[in-house]
Amino acid sequence: MFKVQVIIKRRPSILDPQGKAVEKGAFNMGLTNIKDTRIGKFVEFAVEAVNKEEAVKEIEEYCHKLLSNPIMEDYEYTMEEVL
Amino acid sequence: MFKVQVIIKRRPSILDPQGKAVEKGAFNMGLTNIKDTRIGKFVEFAVEAVNKEEAVKEIEEYCHKLLSNPIMEDYEYTMEEVL
């Protein structure tokens, strides 16, 4: 089994209105030194696979088709085999 | 200035219906070996601060009051000074 951690971020050229909104809330609460907030996703899961190649195939498909929006997001992941 | 990366996760004891739903979608698409999907947040921002202590104070307040829900989520962050 492999444990996988994925970070999904909007591409730098894509605006992040959620980040802007949260940052404005922070400013209004007196946290005036926070800049450039961008909010992405962090996903953890496990894959049952016979070898690393099979696991990578499944991970890539999961990330590409379900976890991220390939039009405007990029993902990166780390994986670790657990016995 | 400090660049900060925060990972926010639901506590292990808290159900994650979003993760379950995405995983069910994966199963229906033939990705049948994915388990234990949990979806959290990944937040990046910058803090202008005169020293590390001031930055940490602002980061902690931002994470605790705005980015995470302290009732059911935990956060961890890394920070790096940039000149």
A49 touches chain B (CB under 8 A): yes
CATH number at residue B42: 3.30.1280.10
Given this model, what pLDDT does residue A83 score?
84
| Chain A residues in contact with B23 (beta carbon < 8 A) | 45
| Chain B residues in contact with A46 (beta carbon < 8 A) | 34-36
Task: Encode burial over A4-14: b for 16+ CB neighbours within 10 A, e otherwise.
Answer: bbbbbbbeeee
Residue A60 structure tokens: 């890539």
Number of domains in chain A: 1
Whether residue A43 and residue B39 make contact (CB cut-off 8 A), yes or no, is yes
B56 touches chain A (CB under 8 A): no
CB pairs under 8 A between A and B: 99
Give the C-alpha separation, B31 to A17, whole Å: 32
Given this model, what pLDDT does residue B83 score?
83
B67 touches chain A (CB under 8 A): yes
CB B36 within 8 Å of CB A46: yes
Average pLDDT, chain A: 96
B57 touches chain A (CB under 8 A): no
Per-residue model confidence as pLDDT tens for chain B (83 residues): 999 999 999 999 999 999 999 999 999 999 999 999 999 999 999 999 999 999 999 999 999 999 999 999 999 999 999 98
* Domain assignment of residue A26, given as a range: 2-81
- Whether ipTM tops 0.85, in short, is yes
A7 touches chain B (CB under 8 A): yes
